[in-house]
RNA sequence: GCCGGGAUGGCGGAACUGGUAUACGCAGGGGACUUAAAAUCCCCCGGCGCAUAGCGCCUUGCGGGUUCGAGUCCCGCUCCCGGCACCA
């Protein structure tokens, strides 16, 4: 049946051809500029829905377009296939995570292929494959050797439901990022990566990403790293020892009237030992630590504390100040101890008021305060109803009195401390080391052996990978199956060959995803993590596409890994992702589309009803990429109708189109209607090209729809070779520009129009400036800024003529009747505004 | 509380650098084709008013301002979304 858009047959046919010809298979080729386009690889959770598709449809459009621009495009895909859902599903179905994962990967691979995404499947990786995690372990080993991976006992985030430790980045508002359960603090031994060694570098690196990454991602990372400038100061404890504090306000040191330790601080219990307050302290510490962190740090929670019975000396004023333990002091920030300046810090103020501690004003907004007596200043302190956190003149501060706190005070106090050897200028970061031990099974084993003789020994490179045993059973108690698996645990020490035990914790899966983009450059390399020549050719990723939810997690970790890998010479770049696009969520019925919400639209259904092309087209048309997208079942109908119209128009006029050769140059000599069509064709090319550059796919598609509307009215059966040529040019431009969105249909129509090869290998069309020339222009006429008429005028009309034409206009006359013309504004080639009052 | 982002027809969304607001699509209405329906094609479609082939007024969350002219710039609000939040 002519004109019937048989998308099922068309899509199957072209996918087969692409596969047979291996057209997405790329090789390193130094004669061509490279372009590395990457979408964040998925966790293989099962069936894909249209919400998932968005990420890949955006990436594919860019990858296809770049190839048309002559780039050697690397567009790979793989699977972030270690992780808890597989393990949980396996436990539930009495199966094995390996089976579950493999089945899901097979299913998702099929669906990606069904969508016609231009992946080079020969580079597919799966993080749970020993050929991959061998190199994750290898990187861990390098980190161990460089002192960047270490073991320590500390308070860690524990999710009882998931039965594992979580990194700080994986705790969202006190809850587990996966299961949303409350996270508790537990003291445990675990492995950490020294991401803090890179804090400064990760921060300054953000500068070069400005304009290339979304601002909000940069801001979020900056806040997360949380750099602050200040000083480290030693406070001697009466009776021996010192307490180190970090402060951003050395200028207020004279006002420090007490100290406060975090309950977890090692000195907390020790100081109270032997005093009559020992029991109170013990109770308070126990109670506070037991409290979960959200509760303890929640908004409006009252500050509370307990006196240790001990004193320290304020190193500047020489006064003895009491040492307290306070719930609002955090062990993980700074040194876990603070100097408290109630007059100038709101928290300290509240605490001091509650426990009746001294408040000493040392910064005054009022210049005259310098001349006040100590008694008067004391009265001022008593009069405070809240902390004064602003700037001013230093008072009550010995030799520093009279200095402006910020302009001079901070520097002078720090210089003094440094001089006396009791403090120094320093910066402090909020970023903590990354805890990577997981007490779960389905992850890469940490390549470490514990030997009674040699201690902690890393597994030598030639014994990697440490294979995750697959012949396991899940114990009832929720523990990892390998934690009690003797055949795995018992081994020999690589150093002394004595009996030793394997580490049974596995790695955080974010480690697996922190370097995968390197692996794609030489996915089957078995001598190293990635072949150096390939990494050098392909890295960095030119355009990364993914969800905003990884603004900190994955994107920060990957930046850290890349810096480390550069330091050891394994990669050549420090920043892995030159440009980042974060796509919005797909919303249905007011909520993010997700399996757990039960509002998913399965991809298979859409492919079956409308085809892959229509599904891809709609998801790119409905909203610009960065914004959220409201899924509409009716909307996809429209996309499908549009493709049907494209198909029908070309199919039913195929002879006319095929009759056209190269159109003549420019617009000269073309009859009006053809000149008009040709102008539209080239204008559309110009606009689609520009919009695509900015990834405004929605408007790109809208322009192509306009071209179709125009061509539908213009295209008539004819033998005239010139007309045929103009029709053909329009039809081809449309089909070629649709290729990044609807590749199957484009190739089909391209072939029918008598062309060889694939559209993706055809260059993106160029707008010919000679075809953009307008015959006449519309001049807008306004009176007092209001639209009163439009006129056709020659393109080269002069300002004077524009003004004359406007004033001669009847409508204008009506509106200026009885008024005086005060001014005439002429915008050449655009508009005339007559100001009459 | 602090830091971002946003608010445009019934809906998703357009609008270059301050210069024709509502492109494109959806939904809706009317018509053609058909025995009928689907599909397709054509027309209409922000609101109000009137002397209704037309004309006028109003309209981009609210209130001001700058300007010949503001969806766009400035000031002050409201609401929504996201991030951070006792960070010393």
Domain count of the fold of chain A: 4
Report residues 605-624 of A contacting strand B, contact meaning Cβ closer than 7 Å.
621-624
Of A756, A771, A786, the position where a domain reaches its end is: A771
Indicate if the pLDDT at residue A397 is higher than 80.
Answer: yes
Average pLDDT of span A33-38: 98
Is the same domain home to A262 and A322?
yes
Contact flag, residue A784 CB and nucleic strand B, below 7 A: yes
Of A401, A429, A457, the position where a domain reaches its end is: A429
Q: What is the pLDDT of residue A811?
A: 83
Task: List phi, psi (to 5°) of A87.
Answer: -65, -45
Q: Evaluate whether residue A568 is within a structural domain.
A: no
User: What contacts A393, CB < 8 A, 6 or more positions away?
Assistant: A363, A364, A365, A366, A367, A369, A370, A402, A403, A404, A405
Q: Evaluate whether residue A80 is within a structural domain.
A: no
Contact flag, residue A120 CB and nucleic strand B, below 7 A: no
Q: Evaluate whether residue A303 is within a structural domain.
A: yes
Q: Evaluate whether residue A521 is within a structural domain.
A: no
Pairing of strands A543-547, A506-507: unpaired
Q: What is the DSSP string of A209-239?
A: HBTTB-HHHHHHHHHHH-EEEEEEEEEEBTT
Name the packing angle between helices A633-652 and A721-738 (round to 10°): 150
pLDDT band at A299 (very low <50, low <70, confident <90, very high): low
| d(CA A600, C1' B12) / Å | 19
Average pLDDT of span A644-649: 95
Of A397, A429, A461, the position where a domain reaches its end is: A429
d(CA A42, CA A620): 20
Is the same domain home to A682 and A788?
no
| d(CA A215, C1' B82) / Å | 13
Q: What is the CATH number of the domain that holds A411?
A: 3.90.740.10
| d(CA A716, C1' B32) / Å | 20
d(CA A132, CA A444): 10
Which of these, A635, A646, A642, lies nearest to A606 by C-alpha position? A635
Q: What is the pLDDT of residue A514?
A: 96
pLDDT band at A630 (very low <50, low <70, confident <90, very high): confident
Checking each nucleotide's C1' against the CA of A635, the nearest proves to be B26
Q: Evaluate whether residue A220 is within a structural domain.
A: no
Residues A623 and A629 sit within 8 Å (Cβ to Cβ): yes
d(CA A318, CA A251): 16
Task: Indicate the DSSP class of residue A702.
Answer: H
Q: In DSSP terms, which residues pair with A165 in a beta bridge?
A: A158
DSSP-derived 3-state class of residue A151:
strand
Q: Give A119 or A584, the one with higher predicted confidence.
A: A119
Name the residue with the least CA to C1' distance from nucleotide B42.
A713
Contact flag, residue A716 CB and nucleic strand B, below 7 A: no
Is the same domain home to A828 and A739?
no
pLDDT band at A294 (very low <50, low <70, confident <90, very high): low
- Which of A47-51, A510-514, A681-685 is predicted with the least confidence, judged by mean pLDDT? A47-51
Q: Evaluate whether residue A213 is within a structural domain.
A: no
| d(CA A104, C1' B85) / Å | 39
d(CA A371, CA A396): 10
Is the same domain home to A654 and A789?
no
Indicate if the pLDDT at residue A72 is higher than 60.
Answer: yes
Indicate if the pLDDT at residue A1 is higher than 60.
Answer: no
Is the same domain home to A657 and A785?
no
Is the same domain home to A380 and A457?
no
d(CA A220, CA A213): 12
Is the same domain home to A327 and A407?
yes
Checking each nucleotide's C1' against the CA of A835, the nearest proves to be B68
Q: What is the CATH number of the domain that holds A818?
A: 3.10.20.590
Contact flag, residue A338 CB and nucleic strand B, below 7 A: yes
Average pLDDT of span A123-147: 98
Indicate if the pLDDT at residue A269 is higher than 80.
Answer: yes
| d(CA A650, C1' B41) / Å | 16
Checking each nucleotide's C1' against the CA of A428, the nearest proves to be B87
Contact flag, residue A702 CB and nucleic strand B, below 7 A: yes
Contact flag, residue A303 CB and nucleic strand B, below 7 A: yes
Is the same domain home to A261 and A350?
yes
Is the same domain home to A164 and A301?
no
Q: What is the pLDDT of residue A74?
A: 98
pLDDT band at A88 (very low <50, low <70, confident <90, very high): confident
pLDDT band at A161 (very low <50, low <70, confident <90, very high): confident
Instruction: Record the tokens describing residue A31, joined without a space.
Output: 């004669």
Residues A225 and A199 sit within 8 Å (Cβ to Cβ): yes
Pairing of strands A184-193, A227-236: unpaired
Q: Strand B: which bases are under 7 Å from protein Cβ?
A: 3-5, 11-15, 19-21, 23-27, 39-42, 56-58, 68-70, 82-88
By residue range, what is the domain housing residue A787? 776-836
Q: A810-831, pLDDT tens digit by residue? A: 888 888 888 888 889 999 888 9
Cα–Cα distance list, A370 to A250, A383, A635 (Å): 19, 17, 72
Cα–Cα distance list, A511 to A506, A560, A574, A609 (Å): 10, 10, 17, 40
Q: A281-308 in b/e burial notation, b at 16+ Cβ within 10 A?
A: beebbeebbebebeebeeeeeebbbbbb
CA dihedral A796, A800, A806, A809 (to 10 degrees): -100
Q: What is the CATH number of the domain that holds A618?
A: 1.10.730.10
Is the same domain home to A765 and A748?
yes
Contact flag, residue A792 CB and nucleic strand B, below 7 A: no
Average pLDDT of span A616-622: 94
Q: Evaluate whether residue A627 is within a structural domain.
A: yes
Instruction: Record the tokens describing residue A377, joined without a space.
Output: 């200043």
Name the packing angle between helices A612-621 and A633-652 (round to 10°): 120
Indicate if the pLDDT at residue A9 is higher than 70.
Answer: yes
Q: Give A736 or A382, the one with higher predicted confidence.
A: A736
Q: What is the pLDDT of residue A2?
A: 64
Q: What is the DSSP string of A250-270?
A: GGGGGG--EEEE-TT-HHHHH
Q: Evaluate whether residue A558 is within a structural domain.
A: no
Is the same domain home to A339 and A475?
no
Checking each nucleotide's C1' against the CA of A224, the nearest proves to be B84
d(CA A661, CA A724): 7
Is the same domain home to A766 and A809?
no
Contact flag, residue A327 CB and nucleic strand B, below 7 A: yes
User: What contacts A382, CB < 8 A, 6 or more positions away?
Assistant: A359
| d(CA A697, C1' B80) / Å | 26
d(CA A113, CA A98): 22
| d(CA A2, C1' B38) / Å | 18
């Amino acid at each position: 049946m002519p004109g019937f858009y048989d998308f099922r047959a068309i899509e199957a046919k072209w996918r087969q051809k692409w596969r047979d010809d291996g057209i997405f298979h790329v090789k390193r080729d130094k004669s061509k500029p490279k372009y590395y386009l990457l979408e964040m690889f998925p966790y293989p959770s099962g069936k894909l829905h249209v919400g998932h598709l968005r990420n890949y449809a955006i990436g594919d459009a860019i990858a296809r377009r770049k190839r048309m621009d002559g780039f050697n495009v690397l567009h790979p895909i793989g699977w972030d296939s270690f992780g808890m859902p597989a393990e949980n599903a396996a436990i539930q179905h009495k199966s094995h995570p390996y089976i579950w994962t493999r089945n899901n990967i097979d299913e998702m691979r099929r669906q990606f292929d069904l969508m016609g995404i231009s992946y080079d499947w020969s580079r597919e990786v799966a993080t749970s494959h020993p050929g991959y995690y061998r190199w994750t372990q290898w990187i861990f080993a390098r980190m161990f050797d460089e002192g960047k991976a270490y073991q320590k006992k500390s308070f860690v985030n524990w999710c009882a439901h998931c039965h594992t430790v979580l990194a700080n980045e994986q705790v969202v508002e006190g809850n587990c990022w996966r299961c949303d359960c409350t996270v508790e603090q537990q003291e445990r031994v675990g492995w950490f990566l020294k991401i803090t060694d890179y804090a400064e570098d990760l921060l300054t690196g953000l500068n070069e990403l400005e304009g290339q990454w979304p601002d909000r991602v940069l801001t979020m990372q900056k806040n997360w790293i949380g750099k602050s400038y200040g000083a480290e100061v030693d406070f001697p404890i009466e009776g021996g020892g010192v307490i180190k504090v970090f402060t951003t306000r050395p200028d207020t040191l004279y006002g420090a009237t007490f100290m406060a330790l975090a309950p977890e601080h090692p000195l907390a219990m020790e100081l109270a030992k032997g005093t009559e307050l020992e029991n109170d302290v013990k109770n308070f510490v126990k109670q506070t630590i037991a409290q979960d962190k959200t509760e303890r740090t929640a908004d409006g929670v009252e500050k509370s504390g307990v006196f240790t019975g001990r004193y320290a000396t304020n190193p500047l004023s020489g006064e003895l100040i009491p040492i307290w333990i306070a719930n609002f002091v955090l062990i993980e920030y700074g040194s876990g101890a603070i100097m408290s300046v109630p007059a100038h810090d709101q928290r300290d103020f509240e605490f001091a008021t509650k426990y009746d501690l001294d408040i000493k004003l040392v910064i005054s907004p009022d210049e005259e305060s310098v001349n006040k007596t100590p008694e008067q200043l004391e009265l001022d302190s008593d009069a405070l109803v809240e902390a004064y956190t602003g700037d001013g003149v230093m008072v009550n501060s010995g030799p520093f009195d009279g200095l402006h706190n910020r302009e001079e005070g901070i520097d002078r106090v720090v210089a003094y401390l440094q001089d006396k050897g009791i403090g120094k200028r320093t910066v402090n970061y909020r970023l903590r080391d990354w805890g990577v031990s997981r007490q779960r099974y389905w992850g890469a084993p940490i390549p470490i052996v514990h030997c009674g003789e040699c201690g902690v020994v890393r597994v030598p490179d030639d014994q990697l990978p440490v294979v995750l045993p697959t012949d396991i059973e899940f114990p009832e108690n929720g523990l990892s199956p390998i934690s009690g698996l003797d055949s795995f645990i018992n081994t020999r020490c690589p150093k002394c060959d004595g009996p030793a035990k394997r580490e049974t914790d596995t790695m955080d899966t974010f480690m697996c995803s922190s370097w995968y983009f390197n692996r794609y450059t030489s996915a089957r390399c078995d001598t190293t993590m990635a072949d150096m020549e390939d990494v050098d050719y392909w890295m960095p990723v030119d355009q990364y596409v993914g969800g905003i939810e990884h603004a900190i997690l994955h994107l920060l970790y990957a930046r850290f890994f890349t810096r480390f890998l550069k330091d050891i010479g394994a990669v050549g770049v420090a920043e892995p992702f030159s440009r980042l696009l974060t796509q919005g969520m797909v919303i249905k019925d007011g909520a993010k589309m997700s399996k757990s919400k039960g509002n998913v639209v399965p991809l298979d259904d859409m492919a079956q009803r409308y085809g892959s092309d229509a599904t891809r087209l709609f998801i790119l048309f409905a909203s610009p990429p960065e914004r959220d997208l409201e899924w509409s079942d009716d909307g996809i109908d429209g996309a499908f109708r549009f493709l049907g119209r494209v198909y029908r128009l070309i199919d039913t006029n195929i002879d006319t189109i095929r009759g056209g050769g190269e159109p003549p140059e420019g617009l000269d000599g073309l009859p009006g209607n053809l000149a008009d069509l040709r102008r539209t064709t080239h204008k559309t090319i110009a606009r689609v090209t520009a919009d695509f550059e900015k990834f405004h796919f929605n408007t790109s598609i809208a322009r192509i729809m306009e071209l179709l509307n125009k061509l539908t009215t213009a295209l008539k059966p004819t033998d005239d070779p010139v007309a045929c040529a103009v029709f053909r040019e329009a039809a081809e431009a449309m089909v070629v520009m649709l290729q990044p969105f609807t590749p199957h249909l484009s190739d089909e129509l391209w072939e029918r129009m008598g062309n060889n090869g694939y559209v993706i290998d055809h260059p993106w069309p160029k707008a010919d400036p000679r075809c953009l020339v307008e015959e006449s222009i519309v001049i807008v006429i306004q009176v007092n800024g209001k639209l009163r008429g439009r006129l056709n005028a020659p393109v080269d009309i002069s300002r004077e003529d524009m003004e004359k034409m406007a004033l001669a206009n009847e409508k204008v006359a009506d509106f200026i009747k009885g008024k005086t013309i005060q001014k005439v504004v002429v915008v050449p080639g655009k508009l005339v505004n007559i100001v009459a009052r």
